Amino acid sequence: MNHSERCFSESTRDVIFLLQSRRRIFFREPEGFEHDGEGWNRVDDNGEIIESDCYVSDDEVAAADSECYIDIWDTEGVWLDRAEAEAWGESHAYRFENPRKNVGWKVYGMPSYGELAKLLQSQDKERDGK
């Protein structure tokens, strides 16, 4: 797929694709959990650890308080093709399944600007011999 076709299929001018991983920041600890600075621990009513280094699910967070966290999306890499970025994300999903960092990744298409946009536009011109 050439540059023009990518932009048309994404409905975005001079599109590039960011692979982003999710990082969750909590304002309050969800009920039944505590954070020891490295990972989440499940605790009983007396504050004793039941399970160490466990994952706090979205359902558990929502049940505790739906406004106790925010998600931050960090860019891990940039691709010219959505399918290639998604394939890389799938093959490296283990990097984004760490309970200490929280889970999740996505591919996000966005327009480029400046010299990058000019370079992308020139791909079609070079290919077509113009």
Is the domain of 100 the same as that of 42? no
Is the domain of 54 the same as that of 94? no
Is the domain of 44 the same as that of 88? no
Whole-prediction pTM: 0.62
Q: Which pair of structure tokens corresponds to residue 7? A: 């932009």
Is the domain of 127 the same as that of 101? yes
Is the domain of 86 the same as that of 45? no
Is the domain of 32 the same as that of 16? no
Could you read off the pLDDT tens digit of each residue along the chain, which spans 130 residues? 888 888 888 888 899 999 999 887 776 677 788 877 667 788 888 888 888 777 666 666 666 555 567 778 899 999 999 999 999 999 998 888 765 555 689 999 999 988 888 888 887 776 666 5
Is the domain of 21 the same as that of 44? no
User: Would you list the DSSP string of 54-92?
Assistant: E---HHHHHHH-TTSEEEEEEEEEEES-HHHHHHHHHHT
What are phi and psi for residue 126, nearest 5 degrees? -65, -40
| Domain region containing 55 | 28-67
Taking each continuous run of H as one helix and of E as one strand, the counts in the chain are: 4, 8
Q: Domain total for the chain? A: 2
Strand-strand pairing, 40-43 and 49-54: antiparallel
